[in-house]
Amino acid sequence: MKYLIVANWKMNPSTGKEAVNLFNSVKKGVKTVKNAEVVICPPFVYIPLLGRLSSKALKVGGQNVFYKESGAFTGEISPLMLKDLKVKYVIVGHSEARKFLDETDIMVNKKIKEILQVNLRPILCVGEKAEEINQKSKILKRQIIKALKNVSRRLVKKLIIAYEPVWAIGTGKNCSVGMTLNSALLIRKIISKLYDNKLADKMKILYGGSVNSKNSKGYLKKTAINGLLVGGDSLDVKDFVKIIKSAS
């Protein structure tokens, strides 16, 4: 099985030159990696720049997208625009988009349907806040069911789910291996009830939330997940390359 390692650069770095240097350094570091597909999701403005540098080992993805193919939506980016730039993966429903951009479950559902219609692969982020830990099952169920409303089995096969407990993102308080395993199994159970066991077993599930080179191997080898969504540490080339190599 090939793991999927996704870097979310968020609103970093500040210049195109820094972005190119960072991308090329990662590219150099993953040349010998065979057991992982690596995707860098930079700010939109850097996608054309980095797309020209992408390779089979290192691809470029999107951090978000709008739910229409075109139209009078000032400041937004459509799935067709991303597709034209050879983007394959798009992050949707990240907790920061939900918090700072008021992204709702209904908006996430619209985005997923639009992304799938143009044959891109959405990475759906789900996860509970600190005050919701005791309600994790309820929260994940709600987020997944609403995100996948009226999404057919044929299309949903391209979906990837990233379990990102909000309380672990950027805090250094990563989720334990046991809790992550429990969450991955819970997500598969929800998908099996929405669709079927076969699809649930095959669906790629990632973990994200204070991932670093010291804990990445534990997640990949002991939690029944298929990869990682890395935030802050993806901007540290040495650490990020170590995370990628932990998939070997």
Tell me if residue 94 is catalytic: yes
CB 243 within 8 A of CB 213: yes
Q: Is the dihedral of CA 141, 194, 107, 183 positive or negative?
A: positive
Instruction: Report H helices in the chain.
Output: 16-29, 47-51, 79-84, 95-100, 105-117, 136-147, 153-156, 177-194, 197-202, 216-222, 237-245
Tell which residue, 72, 21, 76, has the closest CA to residue 62: 76
Catalytic residue among 18, 37, 94, 103: 94
Q: Residue 93: which of 150, 145, 36 has the closest Cα?
A: 145
**CA–CA separation, 144 and 140 (whole Å):** 6
Q: Which of 103, 114, 128, 164 is catalytic?
A: 164
Active site residues: 94, 164
